[in-house]
Structure 1
Amino acid sequence: MKITTKINLLTTAWMLCILIIINFVVYFLFMQTTVNMEEDMQYQKAGDILKDIDGKQTSNEIEETFRDHLTEHSYIRIMGPNDKMMYQVTNDKVLAHKIKGNFTIKKQAKTHIISTEHGEEQILIVHVPMKNDNQSLEIGERLVGLEARKETLRAIMIMCIILAAVLSLLGGRWLASTIMRPISNMIKTMEEIETSGVPKTIPIENKAKDELQTMAQTFNRMINRILENLTKQSQFVSDASHELKTPLTVIKSYANLLRRHGIENKEIAEEAIQAIHSEATRIQKMTETFLDIANLEKENVLEMIQVNLVTLCQNILKQLKDVYKREITLQYDHDPIIISADELKIKQVIIILLDNAIKYSNGKIQVLIEQTDHHAIIKLKDKGIGIPEDEIDQIFERFYRVDKSRSRETGGSGLGLHIAKSIMKLHKGEIKISSKEGAGTEAVLIFHR
């Protein structure tokens, strides 16, 4: 079943349920109000009768008074103890026969249902005590007009329900069509994407700020993100292919050199083997870096723990000092300085920055750790070659290298800072680079606490 049909049927069913409930309440209130009005009229008649018979002693006088107040299809009685009927006047013998008299000393009104040749009829009976506590006045009357009004009201209600059903079906169809139009456009767009394989956005014609527009905008944002990722993926593949092309060309060239000259020329063979090994190692490192980038883009790779930045930096610096034999100092104003982070990822960021400082400087490298009420900060300073001011904004892009020739000599791939920024982004932190060409570089890592 189509969703438009479901909406149509559900709205119609809901409207009919509401209308039936309202009609039931209206019918009940109508009956209650009408009966109450009839009761008030009967009580008023009973009061008038009691006034008229006050002081009259003979039966004829009392019955004559009763006849003056008798209405169509009714009776008037005076009842005594033990339900003894003392007087009765009626113009409806069937009614008088079916309703047995009842003596009561309380003022009350009640209804009865009796069966007649025309069907069931409702009877209103009113009891009013007289001055003489041993007698009560009873008036009974067929509610003929009420039955007629009930039939009319029921007919009107049935017609209203039928009319409401028709209008609800028409309105539900229009409503379903209005609601489904943007969804239909979305389905059409999805089918076009499936057929062509090219993501495209949905044209938004409705300017109303509703959920359907929000859904369409969300879909468009998703498509735009997919297009952006496809562009990045294409660029990444292009850049990676370009980066891999050079070492593969070198390997192939030296392999051809070995094939032509063989391994008899020891000097050439050693040079070729060394070059092939070097370029293969470079490809291996580059591949590992590609995998790191792919994992970071999943955005669910963090294993958060409490990390002491002081201890972490001390361990990293000890390792690098032993390997590179460089002077690297560490300063901090507190110990410990704790953040919630993925320790291995933060270690990777710090190593990337220190590795760049070691490659592009010869002097002392300084590492400073600070903390504020809301942040923990790591600063890394070197006195190296620096970065031109017009290239600072581009250094976080994939494969970007300030000095391409020197980067190749030092083994740089142009991916380190991109990875560092991605890791900091996952940690909701920041990385900032400031530099002056020929005067050195300062990298700042900011962690929100």
Structure 2
Amino acid sequence: MTLRRRFTFFTIFWLIFILILFNIFVYLFVIKITMRSEEQLLTNKVNILLEDPRVDNIAGLSDPELLRDYYNVNELIRIVTPDGKTINSQGSDPELIALETTFSSQFETGMLLVEGRRVIYMEVPLYEGHKVIGKIQLYRKLTLLDSYLQVLVIALTVTSAGAILFAILGTYWFTSRLTSPIQHMVQTMREIDRSGKLRKIELNGKDQSAELEQLARAFNQMIEKLDRTFARQRQFVADASHELKTPLTVISSYANMLSRWGRDNDNVRDEAIEAIVKESERLQNLTKSMLVLAEAEQEDWLKLETFDLVQLADETADMLYTTFQRIIRVHTPKTDVKVSADKDKIRQLLVILLDNAIKYSKEPIDITIAITKGNVRLSVSDKGIGIPESDMSHLFERFYRVDGARRRTTGGVGLGLSIAKRIVDLHEGQIDVFSKPNQGTTITVAIPQKK
């Protein structure tokens, strides 16, 4: 069932339910108010009748003139003795006259139905001293009330039917306007699925609610994000194809040269083997970096734990000193700095930053760790060749290398800083680069101490 039909049925159901309750309330309220008014009229008539001195003795109760002055149309007034006999009566309505004559010494009032018509009655005992000598019985047909109730029922039925019809039309019109942006969104999705081209939904704030406008904006933001993601994927595939093409071409060329002249020429064979090994290692590193970067795109890539960042920095510095014989100094005002993060990813981040510093500088490298305003700041500084200002905005782009002429000598593939940036982003941190040509570079990472 569509949302429009569900909303329409739900609205009509509750409208009918509310109308039924309202009509019942109005119907009973009118009856109650009318009954109260009629009871008051009967009470006033009885009070006036009781003030007549003839009701104080049995002889006066039999006087035909006693009840004649108080009689109205659609009424029956009679006096009944304790033995159940009627000694005085005024009334012309045969249905009221046919009512059974009973006697009780209690005051009674209420309503009964006679041939489907409402009749209000009141029975008042009469005393001579302390002895009950009779009882006045007043019956009054509520003909006017029945007429009013018939008109009221017809009016409530007509108005309720009109309200329901209006509600159906209004709800259908309203739900049509309400679901129009959703239908437009579904149509846009189907068009995207059919054509394969991403499209946004046109926003029209005058014709839709704030919630639907937010939904449309969220959809457009998702489309923008998908568009950027697809663009990055296309760029990544193009860059990866370009990067893979070079080492594969070199390996293929040297393999052909080795097969032609390498058997008889030792120099050609050694040169070819050395080039193939070098390019194979480069190809292996490139493939490994691409796989790591692909994994880094996942939101659940991190495994958080609490560890000592100073100890991790010392271990990483010692490992790289053993590998490259380069001095790496760790500076920190505290002996230990606890941080909640992914230990392996932070170690990988340190290795990437230190590896770049080792490649592009000859002087000792400094690692500085500090805590400021709930963030842990990690800085890696070198005294190397620095980075030109024109290249600063492209540092974290995939496959981007500052100096294209030296990229073969450094062996980089241009993915290290992209991976580092992704690690920092997943830790909800920030990475900044400060550099001047021929003076050195400092890369500072700030991540929350407790994520």
TM-score under structure 2 normalisation? 0.91
Partners of 1:104 and 1:163 lie apart in 2 by 52
Is the 8 Å Cα contact of residues 54 and 66 (structure 2) preserved in structure 1? no
Partners of 1:13 and 1:223 lie apart in 2 by 39
Shift of residue 189, structure 1, vs aligned partner: 1.4
Partners of 2:48 and 2:236 lie apart in 1 by 104
Is the 8 Å Cα contact of residues 305 and 342 (structure 1) preserved in structure 2? yes
Query: In structure 2, the residue corresponding to 1:352 is in which secondary structure?
Result: helix
Partners of 1:111 and 1:7 lie apart in 2 by 45
Shift of residue 316, structure 1, vs aligned partner: 1.0
Matched, 1:9 2:9: yes
Query: In structure 1, the residue corresponding to 2:37 is in which secondary structure?
Result: helix
Corresponding residue number in structure 1 for 2:99: 98
Corresponding residue number in structure 1 for 2:184: 185
Q: For 1:32-431, list aligned pairs within 5 A.
A: 32-53=32-53, 57=57, 58-59=59-60, 63-78=64-79, 87-106=88-107, 109-114=109-114, 116=115, 120-128=116-124, 134-135=131-132, 137-207=136-206, 208-431=208-431
Identity score, percent: 35
Instruction: Report how many residues are paired.
Output: 444
Shift of residue 73, structure 1, vs aligned partner: 3.0
Query: In structure 2, the residue corresponding to 1:363 is in which secondary structure?
Result: coil
Partners of 1:36 and 1:398 lie apart in 2 by 89
Shift of residue 408, structure 1, vs aligned partner: 2.2
Shift of residue 78, structure 1, vs aligned partner: 4.5
2:176 maps to amino acid: S
Partners of 1:420 and 1:133 lie apart in 2 by 110
Is the 8 Å Cα contact of residues 16 and 164 (structure 1) preserved in structure 2? no
1:143 maps to amino acid: L
Q: Over residues 79-105 of structure 1, what are the superposed CA-to-partner deviations in whole Å (9 max), with x where a residue is unaligned?
A: 666878665443335324435445355
Q: Over residues 124-179 of structure 1, what are the superposed CA-to-partner deviations in whole Å (9 max), with x where a residue is unaligned?
A: 12244657564454322222222222221111122122222322222122112211
User: Which stretch of the first structure deviates more once superposed, 247-256 or 124-133?
Assistant: 124-133
2:169 maps to amino acid: L
Partners of 1:7 and 1:60 lie apart in 2 by 70
Cα pair distance change 1:30/1:361, threshold 3 Å: same
Partners of 1:410 and 1:133 lie apart in 2 by 128
User: Which stretch of the first structure deviates more once superposed, 251-260 or 130-139?
Assistant: 130-139
Shift of residue 447, structure 1, vs aligned partner: 1.5
User: Which stretch of the first structure deviates more once superposed, 184-193 or 250-259?
Assistant: 184-193
TM-score under structure 1 normalisation? 0.92
Q: Over residues 171-225 of structure 1, what are the superposed CA-to-partner deviations in whole Å (9 max), with x where a residue is unaligned?
A: 1221122112212222221222122111111112343552222221111111111
Cα pair distance change 1:55/1:24, threshold 3 Å: closer
Partners of 1:104 and 1:370 lie apart in 2 by 102
Q: Over residues 100-128 of structure 1, what are the superposed CA-to-partner deviations in whole Å (9 max), with x where a residue is unaligned?
A: 4453555x5311223x2xxx122212244
Is the 8 Å Cα contact of residues 105 and 133 (structure 1) preserved in structure 2? no
Partners of 2:83 and 2:271 lie apart in 1 by 135
Partners of 1:417 and 1:54 lie apart in 2 by 118
Is the 8 Å Cα contact of residues 380 and 442 (structure 1) preserved in structure 2? yes
Query: In structure 1, the residue corresponding to 2:69 is in which secondary structure?
Result: helix
Partners of 1:404 and 1:62 lie apart in 2 by 133
For the aligned residue pairs, the C-alpha RMSD in angstroms reads 2.3
Q: Over residues 276-318 of structure 1, what are the superposed CA-to-partner deviations in whole Å (9 max), with x where a residue is unaligned?
A: 1211111111111111111111222111111211121121112
Is the 8 Å Cα contact of residues 83 and 103 (structure 1) preserved in structure 2? no
Structure 2 gap segments, 5+ residues each: none
Is the 8 Å Cα contact of residues 250 and 279 (structure 2) preserved in structure 1? yes
User: Which stretch of the first structure deviates more once superposed, 369-378 or 244-253?
Assistant: 369-378
Cα pair distance change 1:47/1:285, threshold 3 Å: same
Structure 1 gap segments, 5+ residues each: none
Cα pair distance change 1:133/1:434, threshold 3 Å: farther
1:173 maps to amino acid: Y
1:282 maps to amino acid: R
Cα pair distance change 1:133/1:95, threshold 3 Å: farther
2:199 maps to amino acid: K
Is the 8 Å Cα contact of residues 113 and 121 (structure 1) preserved in structure 2? yes
Is the 8 Å Cα contact of residues 61 and 88 (structure 2) preserved in structure 1? no
Shift of residue 12, structure 1, vs aligned partner: 2.7
Partners of 1:442 and 1:320 lie apart in 2 by 18
User: Which stretch of the first structure deviates more once superposed, 384-393 or 59-68?
Assistant: 59-68
After TM superposition, where is structure 1 displaced by more than 6 Å over at least 4 residues in a row?
80-86
